[in-house]
Structure 1
Amino acid sequence: MIVPLGRALMAAEQPVLDAHGLAMWAYAVLLRLDETPIRSQAALAGAIGADKTRIIAVLDDLEERGLIRRRPDPADRRVRLLSVTPEGRRLRDAVQADIQRGEEELLARFPAAERDGFLRVLRALSADPPVTPKGKAGG
């Protein structure tokens, strides 16, 4: 039940992302970089679940558009520190607000108590993802 719902929600987000000129991975990067500067492209890819070789083009595009910054780490010049720029933050916030409006419209169909319970369960699951019997993260 969760996978089809996730796909439907991603499909609902796509027109919002398109309107703002962002791909889904680019939005994921902007969301993650705001939490804290990331020490390397590989660490960022791992944090958002992306392949580190495929994310380079996304980072190049975001940097060319002035939405992120990549600068050498003073402690190790082979490593690039990644951070979001003020323009990237503004774009991310606008996209996030539009997506949240859509989520609120979806959730408004349900009574407040059900909506609150659903969100509480989602937060708990995302904070502590289920584990398969073999001890590996499940999905």
Structure 2
Amino acid sequence: MAERPDLAAMLGGLVRTLVALETPVLEEQRLSMWGYVVLSALDDGPVRTQAALAQAIGADKTRIIGTLDELQDAGLISREPDPADRRVRLLEITAAGRERRRAAQDRIQAREEKLLAKLPTTDREAFLRAARMLAE
């Protein structure tokens, strides 16, 4: 097998570049990185508990409480008691949250397009296909 750097070593620089592309957009949208992750997860549909959300996004449930508070205070999510179990809070993105998340995503992906444009079309398509497959 030919020698190559580990995947983490190869992708580390790319991830740093992507974070640097996203950060100004998120700042403009008044979102933290975790806020954007939460809104993205909730845009797929409501989540029954904070613990389920934390598991879905790979965060510690106690770590996201502050993020949830900020998003709720900004009117971007709602946390309502579950009628079937009042101890449980149903988490849902609001229309304003969906609008802000999608605006951020549009701007982020426009910046990503500039980076991806460095690749020939066939390589770009293969890269995006492989990234989706490996992310699953």
> TM-score if structure 2 supplies the norm length?
0.91
Give the one of 36, 39, 47 matched to 1:38.
47
Mapping of 1:40-55 within 5 angstroms? 40-55=49-64
Using the alignment, how far apart are the partners of 1:56 and 1:28 within structure 2? Answer: 13
SS of residue paired to 1:91:
helix
Give the one of 73, 78, 88 matched to 1:79.
88
Letter in 2 for 1:82: L
User: Structure 1 residue 2: deviation in Å?
Assistant: 1.4
Give the one of 29, 33, 47 matched to 1:24.
33
Which residue of 1 is the match for residue 126 of structure 2? 117
The sequence identity of aligned pairs, in percent, is 57
Which residue of 2 is the match for residue 11 of structure 1? 20
Mapping of 1:84-95 within 5 angstroms? 84-95=93-104
User: Structure 1 residue 3: deviation in Å?
Assistant: 2.3
Letter in 1 for 2:134: L
Unaligned runs of at least 5 residues, structure 2: 1-9
SS of residue paired to 1:50:
coil
Kept in 1, the 8 Å contact 2:21–2:112? The answer is: no
Kept in 1, the 8 Å contact 2:35–2:67? The answer is: yes
> TM-score if structure 1 supplies the norm length?
0.89
Structure with more relative contact order (C-alpha pairs < 8 Å, separation 6 or more): 2
Letter in 2 for 1:41: Q
Using the alignment, how far apart are the partners of 1:58 and 1:44 within structure 2? Answer: 12
The alignment of Structure 1 onto Structure 2 pairs a total of residues equal to: 127
Structure 1 residue ranges, 4+ long, deviating more than 6 angstroms after superposition: none
User: Structure 1 residue 92: deviation in Å?
Assistant: 0.4
Letter in 2 for 1:31: S
Q: What do you get for the CA RMSD once the two structures are aligned?
A: 0.8
Using the alignment, how far apart are the partners of 1:27 and 1:108 within structure 2? Answer: 25
